[in-house]
Amino acid sequence: MLAPLLVDPSATVLITDFDGTLSPIVGDPASARALDGVPDLLDRLAQHFATVAVVSGRPAAFLVERLGHPALPGPSRVHLVGLYGMEEVAPDGAVHLAAAAAPWLPVVAAVAARLRAATPSGVLIELKGATVTVHWRQVPMAEDRVVGMVAQEAATCGLTPHPGRASIELRPPIGVDKGTVVRDLTEGCRAACFLGDDLGDLPAFAALARRAAEDGTATVGVAVRDAETAIEVVDAADLEVDGPEGARTVLEWLERRAGS
């Protein structure tokens, strides 16, 4: 199933999520780390394939910190896209925020402050600049209350709620998501692959399928599953692997074959 990605690596695009795909899910989002060897593996892949990109709901600066290559000269060859496409890292390392997201920064900050003051103890409010995520992994009994509070905020502030793993996120309604990123990154390529694990990755899988239907691009969607993975994610993919270790195995296989 992965073989079409190797027909012409110089015309193939590889795109992956971060949390739950390259990094195990953890209770404290700030402690998430990619599996051992993944940053260098991505950089080696980028030497063979047309584009290698990490597209995440994390801020772009977080991706730079976790996937940087301090031992290598110059910037990483890996394209880093944060906040579902609202941020990206330029070749010089600067982080750029989408112009349409900028007016929403004070709105998001105000919502985060209100939620911090009102949510039950143990609920984590993660302010990420243009988005805010509310996590209840440590207090699962608070889910219904938190979801209701977030829905009330969304109804009054204009942000859009998006469910995730033991979390819900509020984002600006600006028509940017992982699907739009995949659409843009795969323009003109011969083959493309996306690896993801969560509901926020569904637009990426859908964009990959549309690319295949519209212009015949060879595409492979890889669901990185665990006990929490929604069935919609598995159904949207062509191939399933077990956890970040399985995703790393896929990427290692591609790197070996492309370099042989």
Q: Give the closest residue to 160 by CA, choosing from 106, 148, 151, 178.
A: 151
Q: What is the DSSP string of the chain?
A: --GGGGS-GGGEEEEE-SBTTTB---SSGGG--PPTTHHHHHHHHHTTSSEEEEE-SS-HHHHHHHH--TTSSSS-SSEEEEGGGTEEE-TTS-EEE-TTTGGGHHHHHHHHHHHHHHSPTT-EEEE-SS-EEEE-TT-GGGHHHHHHHHHHHHHHH--EEEEETTEEEEE--SS-SHHHHHHHHTTT-SEEEEEE-SGGGHHHHHHHHHHHHHH--EEEEEEEE-TT--HHHHHH-SEEEEHHHHHHHHHHHHHHHHH-
Among 8, 17, 197, 242, which one carries the catalytic annotation? 17
Does residue 17 carry a catalytic annotation? yes
| Residues identified as active-site | 17
